[in-house]
Structure 1
Amino acid sequence: MPVEALGDYDPNNIFARILRGEIPSKRVYEDDWAIAFHDINPQAPVHVLVIPRGPYRSWADFSANASEAEIAGFVRAVGATARLLGLEEPGYRLLANAGVHAHQEVPHLHVHIFGGRQMGAMLPR
């Protein structure tokens, strides 16, 4: 179900539950700022999600409310995950959906890392 409105953070969303260990995930990276895990419905040979540990709904929420350390840590976690997955060469795609028009399904900031094949055009025309 898409996120209808930003509103308050929902502590029972699936990513919050993954962070608390209530739902299992196949983790590939974690540190003090973020965790990365395989998507349960992969859209590419490599499809990993990176989420901050803090309760942020979107990039706008994160950039306005996270500490400098959280922001730096999350950005570094995305890069470290791509390197760990061996995606620097030949390349990868990052995707972050925000809100209804972008089809954000989970109201917790997350970045998709896609790799392992040619991605094609960025948006359908």
Structure 2
Amino acid sequence: MGDCIFCKIIDGEIPSKKVYEDDRVVAFHDINPIAPVHVLVIPKKHIPSLLDLKEEDKELVGYLHLVIQQVAKEMGVDRDGFRVVTNTGLHGQQTVFHLHYHLIGGRQLQWTM
């Protein structure tokens, strides 16, 4: 997807500070972290948002959650806890239209509703 910033990160056109990568998923530090640990976990397959998932993506979504678990352990937030957020659409504050999960932790988080 030509102008997708996350696709450019996947392709190596834009540098990132990766913490995990395999043939289906990449995880990297958010450039505007809101906590000591703020990592984005994304599929390499371009899927614009949660609403664009197809039946054939369900195995990938399950795999993404296993990667989030692994990254949480590697980042040291598994013991005290963390938050996983997926922003979807305009009101959900989605700014990059490539499915991604924010793994946020490393401090006591507040609820901001």
Common fold by TM > 0.5 = yes
Q: Which runs of 5+ in 2 are unaligned?
A: none
Deviation, structure 1 residue 111: 0.4
Partner Cα distance (1:114, 1:51) in 2? 14
Equivalences, count = 113
1:47 maps to which residue?
38
Which contiguous aligned blocks of 4+ residues in structure 1 show a shift greater than 3 angstroms?
65-69
Partner Cα distance (1:75, 1:103) in 2? 21
Partner Cα distance (1:85, 1:31) in 2? 17
Matches within 5 A, 1:58-97: 58-62=49-53, 64=54, 66-97=56-87
Q: Which runs of 5+ in 1 are unaligned?
A: 1-9
Letter in 1 for 2:69: G
Higher relative contact order (CA 8 A, sep 6+): 1
Letter in 2 for 1:31: D
Give the one of 10, 23, 41 matched to 1:32. 23
Matched, 1:23 2:10: no
Instruction: Give the alignment's Cα RMSD to 1 decimal.
Output: 1.4
- The TM-score with structure 2 as length reference comes to 0.91
